[in-house]
Structure 1
């Protein structure tokens, strides 16, 4: 899942790829490794936070359109 600078959320899984994102082919670096690059600001989230964001990406509300 990607939350872009334009405020749009895109999701990708084994059956679907968004226009701007796709599944990775290499392992994901740790949060610390990602944050060493000033371009990024990564943080861990809870399962509940992920599930909420995932549901919003897959089933956006009518008000978000």
Structure 2
């Protein structure tokens, strides 16, 4: 039996402007993820064409939370 191929990716340096990095850090914190995991999630959403729906749901949930905790 052969050993399954590892799905672990090699490190990739990413240059990102400070305001975009700050946004990603804040979003990662809100979602309980590392910044790396959050960027991967964002890329998956865009790739799968669900980014707009995911953004809508995040906004809807934020509105619900604000309504429940004025």
The structure whose residues are more often helix, as a share, is 2
Under a length normalisation based on structure 1, what TM-score does the superposition of the two structures give? 0.30
The structure whose residues are more often strand, as a share, is 1
Under a length normalisation based on structure 2, what TM-score does the superposition of the two structures give? 0.29
Q: Which has the larger radius of gyration?
A: 2
